């Protein structure tokens, strides 16, 4: 196996455990392929994985290459791969059991891949994978947003938020978002009908109750969102603690009592308010990603790239992501 540069960890911990070094390049097995990474994006799950927050759900053999989505050019095909060829431009939200996006060569399952349309750069293709699928699945599968409904999207300037605003607008919803005042003009241009400055204004006093809420913050923001959702409405969080359904979805039903306990407060609040609530951990889906990439190609979905870093600078990008306040997405280049 030939060597490649990668960003990886050998143990869980703080930023100091991140290493940049040489590891063997992957070899595809049946139904898998390898692509040369041309762009990868940084997501909150990356630093949560690094510090071990998610190891109850998903643990990794060390060394573990970080990075959950990437885009590039196919260089090797495993047996049984159909629909892809050497030289194809592809993007993927990688299998959560393996990761590996922050490396010169990336291994992916064929069902997680989407071909990148002509005219779409690698950077937005990679950056739309995890964040875009999160937004799309929350809006269409959990919240089931319908035309004319009032939807609240928290942290609209973030990676998930700015994509969710555009997708919710495309579904015909009236979109309200929370963000700092400096982002309001940009977010209105993306399709937000109402922008609330979370630093100065309580959305629950400024707005009528919502039909649906996409929460990216958790904690007290989630509880206030549930309380300000109409009876019969829906709330989904990607920023709080897992609800019991997640245990079964990860094939670890013994964790359900733990998740029942740690998610008790928002679930109890939702039950009292007559609101449907759950946590959502997005899944890789090549077909859904292809739909998002087609929207990018048609100019219907804009991915804001806040900053790009070289692969050797990935630790710096991860520190910036963990600090928050990133408008859009951070991208890694090889």
For the segment 48-88, what is each residue's pLDDT rounded down to a tens digit? 999 888 888 888 999 999 999 999 999 999 999 999 999 99
Closest among 280, 312, 314, 284 to 90, alpha carbons compared: 284
Q: Report d(CA 169, CA 175) in Å as an integer.
A: 6
Which domains does the chain carry? 3-128+303-333 (3.90.180.10), 131-279 (3.40.50.720)
Q: What is the DSSP letter of 10?
A: S
How far does the chain reach from its first CA to its final CA, in angstroms? Answer: 19
Contact between 179 and 161 under an 8 Å Cβ cutoff? The reply is yes
Q: Is residue 324 scored above 80 in pLDDT? A: no
Q: Using 50, 70 and 90 to split pLDDT, how confident is the model at 104? A: very high
Q: Report d(CA 229, CA 275) in Å as an integer.
A: 7
Q: Report d(CA 317, CA 197) in Å as an integer.
A: 26
Which two structure tokens, joined as six digits, stand for 18?
Answer: 């991140």
Q: Is residue 1 scored above 70 in pLDDT? A: no
Which two structure tokens, joined as six digits, stand for 281?
Answer: 């951990």
Which two structure tokens, joined as six digits, stand for 174?
Answer: 């009236």
| Residue 221: its H or E element | helix 219-227
Q: Report d(CA 130, CA 133) in Å as an integer.
A: 5
Which two structure tokens, joined as six digits, stand for 234?
Answer: 């829906």
Least confident of 211-220, 298-307, 315-324: 315-324
Q: What is the DSSP letter of 53?
A: T
Q: Is the omega angle on the peptide bond into residue 324 within 30 degrees of 0, that is, cis?
A: no
Write down the pLDDT at residue 101: 97
User: What tens digit of pLDDT does each residue of 168-179 get?
Assistant: 999 999 999 999
């Amino acid at each position: 196996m030939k060597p490649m540069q990668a960003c990886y960890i050998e143990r869980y911990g703080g930023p100091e455990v991140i290493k940049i070094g040489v590891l063997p390049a992957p070899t595809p097995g049946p139904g898998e392929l390898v692509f040369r990474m041309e762009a990868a994006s940084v997501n909150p799950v990356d630093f949560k994985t690094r510090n071990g927050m998610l190891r109850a759900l998903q643990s990794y053999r060390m060394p573990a290459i970080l990075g959950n989505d990437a885009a590039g050019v196919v260089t090797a095909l495993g047996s049984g791969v159909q629909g892809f060829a050497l030289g194809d431009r592809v993007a993927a939200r990688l299998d959560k059991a393996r990761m590996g996006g922050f490396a010169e060569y990336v291994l992916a399952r064929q069902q997680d891949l989407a071909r990148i349309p002509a005219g779409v750069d690698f950077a937005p293709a990679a950056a739309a994978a995890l964040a875009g699928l999160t937004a799309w699945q929350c809006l269409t599968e959990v919240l089931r947003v319908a035309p004319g409904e009032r939807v609240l999207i928290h942290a609209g300037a973030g990676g998930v938020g700015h994509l969710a605003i555009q997708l919710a607008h495309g579904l015909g919803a009236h979109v309200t978002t929370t963000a700092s005042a400096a982002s309001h003009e940009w977010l209105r241009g993306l399709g937000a009908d109402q922008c609330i400055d979370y630093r100065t204004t309580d959305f629950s006093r400024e707005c009528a109750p919502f039909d649906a809420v996409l929460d990216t913050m958790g904690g007290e923001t989630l509880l206030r969102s549930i309380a300000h959702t109409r009876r019969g409405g829906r709330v989904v969080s990607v920023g709080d603690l897992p609800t019991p359904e997640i245990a079964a979805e990860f094939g670890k039903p013994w964790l359900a009592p733990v998740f029942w306990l740690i998610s008790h407060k928002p679930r109890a609040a939702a039950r009292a308010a007559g609101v449907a609530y759950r946590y959502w951990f997005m899944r890789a889906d090549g077909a859904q990603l292809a739909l998002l990439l087609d929207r990018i190609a048609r100019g219907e979905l804009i991915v804001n790239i806040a900053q790009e870093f070289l692969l050797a600078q990935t630790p710096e990008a991860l520190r910036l992501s963990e600090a928050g306040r990133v408008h859009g997405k951070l991208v890694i280049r090889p």
